[in-house]
Structure 1
Amino acid sequence: MVTGGGHGIGRASVRRLASEGASVTVADIDLAAAQLVAEEIRKAGGAAVAVGCDVRDRSSVETAVARAVDEFGRLDVLVNTAGGGGRHPEFADTGDEVWEDLIDLNLVGVVRCIRAALPHLRAAPGGGSVVTIGSVNGMATFGGEPYSAAKSGLQILTANLAAKYGPQGVRFNLVAPGTIRTRVWDDQADSLARLARLYPLGRVGEPDDVAAAVAFLASEDAAWITGVVLPVDGGILSVGPARIQS
């Protein structure tokens, strides 16, 4: 099950997992987009079902997880990509409602999804796996304090759950992307070009770059990996936030 599977990193993750033989539940608040992705997978000979899912709503999450299990008989992997940032005032002028909304979407939403999926992941025949999409914003000072604080919270959540549920066969890992070319950058080609020059590898990331890391951490190849944060960042953390902010 991939939350946020209708767009961007989520869509790329669905495609990559399906290409490696997974039966995928495409969960997204944008049901029409999820349906298009699921249809694409089925046309290519894979197995996929689309479900509406708002990670800010516990009932919606629980219904989506139940649908995934009903459709495929079990749930082995949960990929948490649903989230987002958005523009807001400077820190001193950012109200509580912005903090509450962004932390609910990016941190508590992940908690809701894991909590609903956990009984099924614990029962998975080969052990369950949770891969969550964080951000380099949760690892260094790139601004966007509410979003960054939520993403930082995902790291300690992942570490705690890895320690707690590893003995029960469930792995938890986090992928921390840098700048990725998704729809939030539509009509901002100049900004992406400027950012690309700041990355040691000379480009911004593509959704497929992140999807490859997701597929690895979800797979049996990563069977002895849990509790890690894997930056997929083109090297930006190696040169530091001062470079990207200058």
Structure 2
Amino acid sequence: MISVAVVDAETPGNVGTIARSMKNFGLSDLLLVDPPELDPDGEAYGFAGQAREDILPAAREVSFDHLVENYHTVACTATTNEDDSSHVRYPAKTPAELADSLAGVDSDTCVVFGRERVGLTNDELERLDEICSIPASADYPVLNLGQAATIVLYELRGLTVERDQHPDDLHARADETAVEGLHEEFSTFLDTIDHPEEKRHRVRRLFRRLVGRAHPTGREAKTLRGVFRRARGRVEATTRERRADEE
């Protein structure tokens, strides 16, 4: 299940806009940390569209600690003040990359949006599990809170909207048995080609990281495993022929 949290929103209208986007893209659980007053006759309900009937009135007020303790958390932020030399939660995923990544997460997830003017603080970012940032022009990278939420939730629609309600196919990641089988085949392939023994562990680790980022489908894992098996067979056949000629 994917929930949405808004931390310390200043404008009720943005809360309503986010609730509406949740309704658009198949989410229903809205969590509010230090929210403004949401008057049923005010702009939050006015901006919420049909979400005024269910999502907004059912929103729960929780603490930031509650998010950290109960969910796999994704911080949505425009800038992180980090680079590859500082690893608070660097690097950030794009919304599309986040959707692919969360397809393999079994635990409850909460996508966390911060304040309109300053977003989430660095201390808050440090407590969350990963970061999502929307690529935008360097001249003006900061999006309105409601716009940012709409973009992120749109990209997550493949995980939250039933297949028969939208035209996109879910990313069917290979199960762990298939992925481990691919790693075993690659490891055997390295042994077969007599890759330098002192380098094999590092190459296996690099391959595991590559596959982990790629999230291959079952068919892709099976095909790659077949390629390594076929290549290994060719190497073994060539080796046997060479030994026979030498004899």
TM-score by length of 2: 0.36
TM-score between the two structures when normalised by the length of structure 1: 0.36
Structure possessing the higher radius of gyration over alpha carbons? 2
